[in-house]
Amino acid sequence: MNAWVAEVAALTRPDRVHWCDGSDAENAELVRRMEADGTLIRLNEQTHPNSFLHRSDPDDVARVEHLTFVCTPERDDAGPNNHWMAPAEAHAKIDALFDGCMEGRTMYVIPYCMGPIDSPLSRCGVEITDSPYVVANMRIMTRMGAPALARIEKEGSFVKGLHSTGELDPNRRFIMHFPAELTIKSYGSGYGGNALLGKKCHALRIASYQARSEGWLAEHMLILGITNPQGETHHIAAAFPSACGKTNLAMLIPPEGYLKDGWKITTVGDDICWMRPGKDGRLYAINPEAGFFGVAPGTSKKSNPNALACLQRDAIFTNVGVTADNQPWWEGIGNGLTPVTDWRGEPYDADKRPAAHPNSRFTVSARSCPSYSPEAENPEGVPISAIVFGGRRASLVPLVFEARDWTHGVLVGAAMGSETTAAATGAVGVMRRDPMAMKPFCGYNFADYFSHWLSFDNGSNKLPKIFHVNWFRKGDDGTFLWPGFGDNLRVLEWMIGRVKGEAGAVETPIGNLPAAGDLNLDGVELGEEARAKLFGFERDGWKAEFDSIGEYLDTYGPRMPQALKDEQRRVVESLD
């Protein structure tokens, strides 16, 4: 590690090198300096103690998928789902940008662990950066500092991450991944998804590649615990594209009737899940992150009281608005206050731009969440009872259905479609295939990734049931048909019932759907149209959908596993 750090220092030529120990004193000094130079603005100490606002460059507010590359020796290994560049060309291109880029700056060396520090499922990394904002966020998002360094020194292997904000020039910006070298290089962006290299870059793109070679899964999934009135706890892992309600589901508060009956939800993680078969054949999962990097707009007492409760202290807010008394503000917060300054630091003018950027974020420790699960630190992970896939679909897709077996479930995940949101640059509201919500994050060819998923059905593993949900079905008038939020527990209850063999279902060609009486709908008013669309099955629409799925699978060519193509044909034949 020392040789690599020296090599990076020789390339980037910083004024000084600082090895991060993760201590309170170190963090306080970093914050003091960032306040002095305006990188961080302290918020209202009475309402939000030890919390800060960061404003990023207006051209640097989201992931940049078109500038994100997976650099494998063979183009086919990266697959059509990734932008590819040959490793030698990629290193040369980005190293030319790194040359001398840290002159006049401090180079921070951040040893970190993704996952509980003593878990065999955890993996370590070192990020080198010239951004103190990145250091402060990585301290929240990972197990960072001396304990991680000790584990790295003991194990000898780690993911290397090199980052510089550079000039924040969109024309001099790249995020490069070298999976075979366990290396990440990111230049020209300070935005979390591009700069906090432990997050999407390591925990998904590099880890998915590691997971394939080591026999586990690195997934874009939340993990929640559901405890029923009998005291049984089941854990569910669920994949949704960014800004499709993952954090809301992870921190769900049960409806009043469920609370009275003794139902309880605990949050293990809201974004990333690493799963591995245990000795008993079940899949066990950890959340590799130690914090939440959540989307602020729409987070309110109504949508996610637990997330809002997290954010009352020790948080970093990025690109939100500010009220007259210096409190953070975003669209949908619903607190009765009014912003005076927008996310660019200009006087708020609703006709000009929103107060908070649509992809504005909060960073906060997971331990601050009222529903935080003590199981989040369990080194063995938690056993997964069900895997859920879901996207944002205004039409066709019902509220919930169950895959008939593992292979069908992998097809359900592979075919997942969702309307795009503000978490990525580009048009919003366009339907795109986003397999397992991993389209921007899978570090290798999706066809090989589907094969890896299928390989877990080996006869000895006791695999979880797979489901698909759609909270976003709309009626003819364009309004949502399902209340969502806490009421989503009604759907999770049915899933647990299916896992235990206690809940009924109706078999259809696309999977098993609950009949109207199979879900507890006490206190939920659903009209005729809502019931028909949420629990119905539209044969003609699904025929067109599965023709489209077949065309999509074909785009991966001969590497696409035959089992998945056979499964797609089976569904098509049953639809006919």
Residues annotated within a binding site for Mn(2+): 200, 220, 271
* Structure-block tokens of residue 137: 């966020």
Query: Annotated binding residues for substrate, as ranges?
Result: 63, 191-193, 242, 359-361
In sequence order, what are the residues at sequence separation of 6 or more whose Cβ sits closer than 8 angstroms to the Cβ of residue 552?
415, 433
Please pick, among 20, 71, 124, 244, the residue that the annotation labels catalytic: 244
DSSP string, 203-240: IIIIHHHHHHHHT-EEESEEEEEEE-TTS-EEEEEEE-
Is 244 among the residues known to form the active site?
A: yes
230, exposed or middle or buried, with CB in 10 Å at 0-12, 13-18, 19+? exposed
Query: How far is Cα 506 from Cα 516, in angstroms, rounded to an integer?
Result: 10
Number of Cα atoms under 13 Å in the Cβ half of residue 572:
15
Query: How far is Cα 202 from Cα 209, in angstroms, rounded to an integer?
Result: 10
Closest CA to 75 of 94, 64, 90, 63: 90
Instruction: Work out the end-to-end distance of the chain between its first and last CA atoms, rounded to an integer number of angstroms.
Output: 60
The answer to whether 141 and 290 are in contact (CB under 8 A) is yes
Helix (H) or strand (E) holding 490: helix 488-499
Query: How far is Cα 506 from Cα 503, in angstroms, rounded to an integer?
Result: 11
Query: How far is Cα 416 from Cα 403, in angstroms, rounded to an integer?
Result: 13
Place of tokens 């059905």: 457
State the helix-helix crossing angle for 539-554 and 562-575, rounded to 10 degrees: 160
| Phi, then psi, of 328 in degrees rounded to 5 | -70, 145
In sequence order, what are the residues at sequence separation of 6 or more whose Cβ sits closer than 8 angstroms to the Cβ of residue 46?
none
One-letter amino acid at 175 equals: I
Q: If you ran DSSP here, which 8-state letter would residue 421 be given?
A: -
Query: Annotated binding residues for GTP, as ranges?
Result: 243-248, 361, 392, 485-488
For residue 167, the SS3 value is coil
Helix (H) or strand (E) holding 449: helix 446-454
Strands (E), 62-101: 68-70, 83-84
Query: Annotated binding residues, as ranges?
Result: 63, 191-193, 200, 220, 242-248, 271, 359-361, 392, 485-488
Distances (CA, A) of 359 to 319, 331, 539: 8, 11, 37
The answer to whether 343 and 296 are in contact (CB under 8 A) is no
Active site residues: 244
